[in-house]
Structures are given as structure tokens and as C-alpha cells.
Structure 1
Amino acid sequence: MAVAMKKQNVTELDVTPHWHAQAKEIQQYGSVIEDMPHYLDAKVRTKMCEMLNQLLADSIAIRDMYKKHHWQVSGPTFYQLHLLFDKHFEEQVELVDTIAERIQLLGGVTIAMGGDVAELTKVPRPPRGKEEVPVQISRLLEAHKIIMQQCKKIADAADDAGDDGTNDLAISDILRPNELQSWFIGQHLVEMPLVFPK
């Protein structure tokens, strides 16, 4: 049995992609959402987001430095450091995400693009070329020190402001993993002969 189909007036949709879309920003960097259900006032959240964005920029810088060194490491400890640098890179990926999510939770806007990170970070930029292992490790240790010092500063400021979440993040989520990574790579600078004389 044939079913009669009623022809409907359907407006055809334009499925052509619209390239180069432009619009105003919906929230400026450095601002926070004023009216949001959060126990901290906007002034405190703005200050915490500013400090966390600095930490985020430096964490992105060390994350990328770990990947650079993972690719460029050489020498007798190549295999161990190649694996360790990549492991630390993956851990830093998670730390970066944790910091960024805290900024968003506070109603702020995260720094994200490489050029912006390069302008903001306090971590000295390594050269593009390949460096010896002790130099790679020294750079990473200095970057960890910068991040750990910032964690302490953020934790103290958050404690004073009553921001328990940011305080906990700075110490438990960011400081402690950076301490551990710093310890792991620092042990590679201890002078030990690769071959013991008989």
C-alpha cells in the first residue's frame, strides 16, 4: 500500500562553512565573571587568577622544555633520561590542566597561546639548539625552583584571602609534584663513575 507523502515547505539550510568568522571577545583576559555563585568576591578571584596565570605560563614553559629535552637528549644516560623527561612532560600536561581549570572555576580567563606564554613566563628560554645533559637538567631545576617559589607565594596569598581551594591546589597539586620531579632529575647531576675500576 502506497503512502501519500505531503510536500512540506522546508527552508533549505546553508551548509557552507563560514571561514574567517570574527566576533568580539566574550570575556577579556585579566577579568573575572563578576556575578557568579562563588564564596569569594571578584577582587579576590581576580588576584588569584592573575597569580595562577603566571603559574600556568611557567608550567606550560617547563612542560614544553621537558618535551624539548626528551627529543634532544643524548649521551650515556640517553635511554633513562629520554623516558624520564617524557614521563615528566606527561605529568606537567596534567598540572597545566589543573591550574587552567582552577582559573576558569574562579571565573577568570586562562593564558593559552605560545606567544602569550612566552611574554608572561619567568622561566628563561633555552636556545633552539641541542645542549649537553647537565645543562638541560640545570635548566629544568631552575624552572622547577621558579614554580615552587610561586606555589609558596600563591598559597600564602590564598590563605590570607580565605581561598582554600587555590591554597590546596598550589601546595598539594602543583608544589609537591614539582618537588618530586626536581628531586628525580637532580639525582642525575650527582657525580658517579659510569664504570667502576677493578
Structure 2
Amino acid sequence: MSTAALKEVAKNRDLITPQWRQNAKEIQKFGTVIKDLPIGIDKDARQKVCERLNVLLADIASLRDLYKKSHWQVGGPTFYQLHLLFDKHFEQQVELVDLIAERIQILGGVSVAMAADIAELTRLERPPKGREEVPVQISRLLEAHALILKDARDLAEKASDLGDEGTNDLLISDVVRTNEMQVWFLSEHLVEMPLVHAK
């Protein structure tokens, strides 16, 4: 092979080699929003909404993970029902995490994403690493839902006041409705009711 041909082969080999050791500065800092965005909502309003949405996102991501922990660690006579229910609720919270993160990006912000960053932002109490009894698991989940529902309603109203009806719609139609339904399904497991003979 000629020298020119060998150089061409070497050049083409470099073209197909992954350039995986790359590094650069962030293109947008967390906590900022894009200055000029043609969506009809001013920068200050978008900034305020994104800050609040990121905290809510951290709480919902923590609730999502709490559902998976509960799914894995549940036990007792209601194991089968709760194992399936917790996993279903986990999947629904996964969808909410994605919707909220995308809404933050739509507003020109940067959504919180990594577990360590979520742990810093969340207001949910951290559960123990070990297993808990079913009533404690459910109570912990209900407390998380109560916090999220209150915050979602407050933020929906604030977003509407700021002219951000898209966020208002997302919070009411998706976050509030999903979490209310999950509260209903969970809370029924804490009602003391006879199984064989009525009182």
C-alpha cells in the first residue's frame, strides 16, 4: 500500500473512533432561564415558576423512589395487592417527573436531574434504609402526597397569576389528579374493616 493510501486509511479510522473523552463548560447554569424565549411569558415569571417547579420535581422524584422502595420491601397478608399497587403508582410518578422536567425546559430553565441534586432539594423526609411495617409505609407515602398536593395547588395558582396557564394546566390536570387518585387508593388500605363478619 502506498504512503498516501495508508494515510487515508488512518484518517478514516479516526473518523469512526468514538471521541468519548470530551469536556466543556456548562451551556446553561442551573437556576437560570433563557433570557428571551418566544412563548409569551416574561423572563421573571418563568424564573419564579421554574424555581418552584424544580422543588416540586425533586419531591415527586423522591416520591417515585419511595414507591419503588415500598414495592420491593412490602410484606404481610396484603403483599400481592400492595406490591402491584406500589409499582403502578411508581410508573405514574415516573410520567409526572418527565412532564415536570420537560415543562421546566420549555420555560427556558434547567430541570434538576441527578439523585444527589434531588436529595438536596426535596422536602420529603428520608425513610430508613431498612423495611418498615405496611401501615408505616403507607403513612409515609400519604404524607408525601399531602405535601406535593398542597404545593402543586399553590404553584398552579401562582403560575396562573403570572400568566403561565400551561404550567397551571399541567399541575391541575396531571399532578393534582394523579396524586389525589393515589391518595384514595392508599388511604383505603388504612381503614379498619372486618373481613368476615360485619359489626
What RMSD in Å do the two structures reach over aligned CA positions?
A: 1.7
Partners of 1:120 and 1:189 in 2: CA distance:
30
SS in 2 for 1:12: helix
Deviations 1:136-195 (A, max 9, x none): 000000000010011111011112111111111111110111011011001000012345
SS in structure 1 of the partner of residue 172 of structure 2? helix
1:15-54 pair list within 5 angstroms? 15-54=16-55
The residue number in structure 2 matching 1:84 is 85
Aligned equivalents of 2:17, 2:118: Cα separation in 1: 35
Q: TM-score, normalised by structure 1?
A: 0.91
**Distance in structure 1 (CA, Å) of the matches to 2:194 and 2:24:** 61
Q: Which residue of 2 aligns with 1:109?
A: 110
**Could you say which residue in structure 1 is the equivalent of 2:71?**
70
User: 1:13 deviation in Å?
Assistant: 4.7
Superposed, which structure 2 residues align to 1:149-168 within 5 Å? 149-168=150-169
The ranges of structure 1 where at least 4 consecutive aligned residues each deviate by more than 4 angstroms after the TM superposition are: none
Deviations 1:103-126 (A, max 9, x none): 011011000000000010001110
How many aligned residue pairs are there?
Answer: 191
Q: How does 1:91-102 map to 2 (within 5 A)?
A: 91-102=92-103
1:4 alignment counterpart: none
Aligned to 2:12: 12
**Unmatched runs of 5 consecutive residues or more in structure 2:** none
Deviations 1:3-53 (A, max 9, x none): xxxx8x954351333444211000110111112211001110011111111
Structure 1 CA distance for aligned equivalents of residues 147 and 13 of structure 2: 54
Structure 1, unpaired ranges of 5+: 1-6
**Identity rate, percent:** 63
2:173 counterpart residue number: 172
Q: What letter matches 2:122 in structure 1? A: T
Aligned mates of 1:104, 1:80 — CA distance in 2: 37
Instruction: Give the match's secondary structure for 2:12.
Output: coil
Q: Which has the higher helix share?
A: 2
Q: Name the structure 2 match of 1:136.
A: 137
| Counterpart residue type for residue 93 of structure 1 | V
**What CA distance in whole angstroms lies between the structure 2 residues aligned with 1:135 and 1:20?**
46
Distance in 1, matches of 2:81 and 2:179, equals 19
